[in-house]
Every structure is written in structure tokens, then in C-alpha cells.
Amino acid sequence: MAYCNPSSDQKLDEMASMEVGSDKDVKVHVFSSSSELIEKLHEKWSPVKKKPYPAMYSSVFGGIILDPAMMVIPIDDHMVHRGHGVFDTAVILDGYLYELDAHLDRFLRSASKARITLPFPRSTLLSILVQLTAASQCKEGTLRYWLSAGPGNFLLSPAKCPTSAFYAVVIADVVSQCKNGVKVITSTIPMKAPQFATMKNVNYLPNVLSIMEAEDKGAYASIWVDDDGFIAEGPNVNVAFITNDKELIFPSFDRILSGCTAKRLLELAPKLVKQGRLKSVKTANLTVMEAKGAAEIMYIGSTLPILPIIMWDEQPIGDGKVGELTMALSDLLWHDMVAGPNTHRICVPY
């Protein structure tokens, strides 16, 4: 039972009145015209010489936007106020889109699970993304895209939204191999239930809190452990382990996001088995004790693509240095990104 403290309540009322009083002189500006608002939007970007977002597509506008000040989405979009949306990404490297088809397939699976209908067929979505990248003139960075239940109202149900909405943006950034190791922690933030963890949806608050928790402890990121005590994934990456017997093990994908880069590595890694450097490649359930006893550990994700982990919960992994096999896997994946088959790389027609 809660007890009321009159003196405490009085103090809170006094503080509230002081805060309100301090804002009496604040006058909120009312934009009298769209031209005035647009001028205000441009103020942020006018001093920026190199735009970090060279192009955006919006199905709401019906085209590609090159002005970053105009790269906006409606406030009544259900992705904004209800989190009803899914997204995915692809790397742009040397003028090629890497693994876009695989990412787009996962995007469509996520949309189906989220019960969002497509505004266009898959072929049109693919064409839009390639044309957007070409219009951006960006040769290195990432392509990110979202499917929303759409704008229309502030209700919980999307039933009265006229149509779903598709957005995409090109982000200019450096893409390179990661050769230095990082520290990680075991996350105490509850992970998503499998129904939501296996779709790439925009509800990323657990992921955000998980990485903030890691940063608070001086670590790069974290690793989730599921309710059964098995290793799951990182906040926005997969994780893989090399045992002392030289087995490469990925946690099973049935309760976590099926990483496109991780699955591509599963296809490439047997090359090291043929060379005798790895014993085997597989997916399996790993306990925390088994995982921390690994010789090498790595994060795997589209923009990394492989990031060595050298310390976990202040415990060194292996000898505490970046592992030789981790870098061999990194080299395999990097070569695939810069010179792999055309089935995995789309040449952008700039």
C-alpha cells in the first residue's frame, strides 16, 4: 500500500509551478507558409558540404528525393506512432549492391509476418532500390529500406490506412574489414520473443537498450542469451564461435533473426574445411559456458562484415587476441563482397 506524504506532494507541486512559470516567456513560432518552413528545414543542411544521405525514395511522394531537407515521412505513418513496419539493408561497395536479393527476400518474409501488404511487386521494389542507388551516385555505403503499414490516422489498427508505404535511403559511409577486436557483455535486457526476433521489424527498443547497457560498461556491444540458456545473437548482428577443435558454430536461427551475411558465410566457410584449417561448419545450440570456452568469437553483420570479439564479461577469449581463423573467414567474406559472383552482387548503372 502506498502512503501519501503531504510535504513531498507540496514540494512537487511547487517545482511543477516553477517549471511552468519559467516557460511563460516562451513563444512558440507558427510557420505561416510552407515556403517559410522549407527555408527552416534547409538551414540545417546548407552548411553541410558532403551530404551523408545523398538520395531517398518515398512512395508517398512517388519518387526519388535528392534534397536531404525534404527526406521526411508523415507523422501519422503507423511505422512512426505504432511501430508497424519492417526494414532491411544492403551494402554498397565499389558500385555494387551486395546480397540485395537475399536481403529483399528476407524483407518480404518480414512484411508477411507483420501483415503488411506490398505497394508494388518484388520486381518493382528491386528496380526502385537499384535506381535510387544510381541516382545517389554513392559508390560506398549502405542502402536501407522500410515498409510501413502506411500513413492515414493515429489509430491502432491499420485497417483505414489507404495503402502501405515504401521508403528507402542511401547512406554514404566507409565500408571496410574490421581487424581489431572488441569487448562485449552478456545483456541483461530481455530479448524479443521468437515471433518478433525472427522478423526484421522497427521495434528496436530492446536492441537500443542492450547496446546502451554495453556502452555504459565500456564494451562495444552485447550478446543475448535466450530463456533456455542458449546463445542467441547480438543487438543487431549474429555471433559465431570457433571451438578449440576448430569447429565453426553458429547459433540456430529458429529463434533469432536469420542473418543474410551469416548465411552467406555458412556457404563460404567450407572452403576452409577443404583446406584443413577448419574441422566443420554447422549451426547448433551453445550454452554460455561452452561459448565462453571458444577459441575465437566474432560478430557477423552486413556492415561489419566480421568483427572479432576478444573479451566477454571481462574474460579473455582464447589468448585475448584476434584469431587467425576469424581473419581467414573475414578475408573469405570480403573477397566475396569485392569480387564475388554476379549472383550475389548487382552492378549499379550510375
Residues identified as active-site: 200
Q: Which of 163, 154, 81 is nearest to 116 (CA)?
A: 163
Q: Give the count of alpha carbons within 13 A of 92, CB side only.
A: 24
Tell me the C-alpha distance between 197 and 191, whole Å. 8
Distance of CA 226 to the CA centre of its chain: 20
**Residues in Cβ contact with 34 at an 8 Å cutoff, skipping those fewer than 6 apart:** none
Start-to-end C-alpha separation, the chain: 68
Tell me the C-alpha distance between 258 and 197, whole Å. 9
Residue 299's beta-bridge partner residues?
239, 307
